[in-house]
């Protein structure tokens, strides 16, 4: 038999006996959204709807969801018209603007269980073989973020008890950033806890830009404060910063057991950053 035919048959057998890769779980993440004076929130909502149109999928809202005060009126008039029909797929954490209304009450009213327990705003769930951890990074509002705080103790117990090899944490404030606000030292204890447990990803907003940071031996961090609020310039560039983009858009993650893919897509449909990773705890 000619060599070419042997090669063809070998490739055919490989194709038959190699199982097709399972469909990944799509997660869209973005924060800093509902600014009534700007219309970009409609563009990011349309983009998010396109990316999560196929099941299974979920949306992570990274705080500062309704400007300027996170009031019931702001949620009703500034966030809901653009993003409201995505609410059944959304999981949220509060930002600092939500706490400009007493106790972030309208935030908890709007999202219910999908925004975390009232007065706490932190929780955990499992999606596609991943542990997804929503954190309340408004430390002063939840009894601090240090080792003696309720949230730190809850997070420590949650990470100790899990057998899930891949973990993703999301909150409003980034630990590291080249944006206007820079580093957040108040989050250092929680960040160190995530590092010790080899949590793979940390997603945040707060700075109105997109940035991917890869500190050695620590969680890969994405800042995605690009959901509709005004875009801001970068400041001092952090040594761990790899990619920086000033544009409205959303982060798309595809999760598989043990690995993931990321893409930052702007509202023009352009992919501005992308890559793949494997869970380091595997």
Query: pLDDT digit string (tens) for 140-198?
Result: 999 999 999 999 999 999 999 998 999 999 999 999 999 999 999 999 999 999 999 99
pTM of the model: 0.91
Average pLDDT, the chain: 92
Show the tokens assigned to 193.
């806890």
Instruction: Decide the pairing of beta strands 123-127 and 130-134.
Output: antiparallel
Half-sphere exposure of 100 (CA within 13 A, CB side): 16
Using an 8 Å Cβ cutoff, are 210 and 189 in contact? no
Q: Between the CA of residue 69 and those of 7, 44, 83, 243, what are the distances in Å? A: 66, 21, 17, 31
Q: Is the bond preceding residue 107 a cis peptide, omega within 30 degrees?
A: no
Sheet of 210-213: strand order equals 123-127, 130-134, 166-170, 201-204, 220-224, 210-213, 241-245
Residues contacting residue 264 through CB under 8 Å, at least 6 positions apart: 210, 212, 222, 224, 243, 245, 249, 250, 251, 252, 271, 272, 273, 274
Query: pLDDT digit string (tens) for 200-247?
Result: 999 999 999 999 999 999 999 999 999 999 999 999 999 999 999 999
CATH placement of domain 21-278:
3.60.21.10
């Amino acid at each position: 038999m000619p060599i070419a035919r042997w090669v063809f048959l070998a490739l055919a057998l490989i194709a038959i006996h190699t199982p097709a890769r399972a469909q990944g779980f799509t997660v869209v993440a973005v924060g800093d959204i509902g600014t009534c004076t700007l219309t970009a929130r409609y563009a990011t909502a349309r983009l998010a709807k396109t990316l999560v149109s196929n099941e299974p999928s979920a949306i992570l809202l990274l705080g500062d969801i309704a400007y300027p005060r996170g009031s019931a009126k702001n949620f009703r008039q500034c966030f809901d018209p653009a993003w409201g029909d995505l609410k059944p797929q959304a999981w949220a954490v509060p930002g600092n603007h939500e706490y400009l209304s007493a106790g972030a009450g309208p935030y908890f009213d709007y999202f219910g269980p999908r925004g975390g327990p009232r007065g706490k705003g932190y929780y955990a769930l499992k999606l596609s073989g991943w542990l997804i951890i929503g954190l309340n990074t408004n430390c002063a509002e939840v009894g601090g973020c240090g080792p003696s705080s309720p949230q730190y103790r809850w997070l420590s117990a949650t990470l100790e008890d899990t057998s899930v090899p891949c973990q993703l944490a999301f909150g409003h404030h980034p630990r590291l950033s080249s944006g206007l606000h820079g580093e957040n030292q108040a989050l250092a204890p929680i960040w160190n806890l995530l590092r010790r447990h080899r949590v793979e990803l940390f997603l945040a907003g707060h700075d109105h830009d997109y940035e991917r940071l890869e500190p050695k031996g620590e969680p890969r961090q994405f800042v995605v404060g690009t959901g509709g609020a005004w875009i801001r310039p970068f400041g001092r560039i952090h040594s761990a910063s790899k990619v920086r983009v000033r544009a409205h858009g959303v982060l798309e993650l595809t999760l598989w057991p043990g690995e993931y893919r990321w893409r930052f897509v702007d509202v023009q449909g352009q992919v501005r950053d992308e890559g793949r990773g494997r869970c380091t705890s595997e």
